[in-house]
Amino acid sequence: MKYYIIAGEASGDLHGSNLMKALYKEDANADIRFWGGDLMKNVGGTLVSHYKERAFMGFFEVLMNLSKVLGFIKFCKKDIAQFKPDVIIFIDNSGFNLRVAKWAKQHHFRTNYYISPQVWASRASRVKDIKRDIDKMFVILPFEKDFYKKHGCEVNFVGHPLIDGIAGRKQVDLSIFKKEHNLNDKPIIALLPGSRKQEITKMLSVMLSLIDDFSEYQFVIAGAPSQDLSFYNKIIGNRKVSFINNKTYDLLSVSYTALVASGTATLETALFKVPQVVCYKGSNISYQIAKRIITLKFISLVNLIMDKEVVKELIQNDFNTKNLKAELTKILDDNHREKLFLEYFDLESKLGGKGASEKVAKEIVSNLK
């Protein structure tokens, strides 16, 4: 059977790659065409467009690149029409995917959605579009099932795919890891400033401003696969900091603590049981727009799932050197760390166990058959 998958960003590429592996197990003759990244490409199938080409962050940035976005949507529709898939599988990336889904449903394609758009964060009115345009929705956060039910929409909660990705990893040998990446014996503070150029530019310099105040630790940047070292070097300058590209999980597995850009990485860091401070800073225009339409108490997945402040969030103007230094000092304290570890174990128990990708693949293939 023929599958068309549309994913955006590094996290979508990760979840898409695991779903593709599961689909190939369920359907040995699967013909998969997709929008994604290198991880999906390494699994197989045909890559149509890399997410790097569409990495626009924030309302203002999307608006400034609207003609490009609309061009991608137009091309995607044309490509789907030519491929004639048995099912289209959308992964997160709501601004793009919901527009394509509306067209796809009108043209009688089967539509499945894996990893719900964050309609619970803003513009809940989009649920009516999802009910109209999506045949089957698979959600990965425990509170999403209740949210959709309140809006008269039945969805499948399959658990979070990150649990599988992290549990199935090969354990990292600390001494070998340090030798490979020229690290010393000081405890590691991991810096995860995001994957898009806009967010890295706004956040990494503030993170790096703490180096001199925490000289008993070594700072290590988790480089995003979508960006080159030359881009990071413009921000790093002459600071004493290490850089490791495209090995975030390995880095987190040996880190003592972390400074993390808001997004999927906050949950990944928690699942590795690494104390963290969550950071966010966007353009002022995008932030002002977001503040008016997003109704959530928190921005990190850790706090949203736990429905309380487990990890500290420094947002926009609160994200500065003074505040970041104070919060990093707190999570280096043993008593604070012990409480945080207990919260992290509770968090993991709420996420529904292993096998998310396999559950989704089996359901999709079963429905097609």
Could you report the per-residue pLDDT of 324-351, keeping only the tens digit for each? 999 999 999 999 999 999 999 999 989 9
CA distance to 81, 181, 245, 257, per residue, from 185 (Å)? 56, 12, 20, 15
Q: Nearest-CA neighbor of 13 among 61, 58, 49, 57?
A: 49
CA distance to 58, 105, 281, 362, per residue, from 100 (Å)? 20, 9, 29, 24
Query: Mean pLDDT over residues 121-137, rounded?
Result: 89
- Please report the pLDDT score of residue 333 as a whole number: 95
Give me the phi and psi of 243, to 5 degrees please.
-135, 125
More confident residue, 139 or 14: 139
- Please report the pLDDT score of residue 197 as a whole number: 85
Of all residues in the chain, what percent carry a pLDDT higher than 70?
92
For tokens 């001199």, the residue is: 212
Q: Is the pTM of this model over 0.85?
A: no
What CATH class has 167-349? alpha beta
Tokens representing residue 272 in the block: 């590795």
Rounded-to-integer distance, Cα 282 and Cα 319, Å = 11
Pick the CATH number of 2-160+352-368 from 3.30.70.2860, 3.40.50.300, 3.40.50.2000, 3.30.470.10: 3.40.50.2000
Confirm whether 2-160+352-368 and 167-349 share one CATH topology: yes
For tokens 């549309």, the residue is: 6
Q: Structural domain boundaries of the chain? A: 2-160+352-368, 167-349
For tokens 């898939």, the residue is: 85
In tens, the pLDDT along 281-312 reads 876 655 555 554 455 688 899 999 999 999 99
More confident residue, 36 or 70: 36
In tens, the pLDDT along 153-208 reads 999 999 999 888 887 788 888 899 999 999 999 999 999 999 888 889 989 999 99
DSSP classification of residue 55: -
Q: How confident is the model at residue 112 (pLDDT cuts 50, 70, 90)?
A: very high
DSSP classification of residue 122: B
Yes or no: say if 260 and 279 are a contact pair by the CB < 8 Å rule. Answer: yes
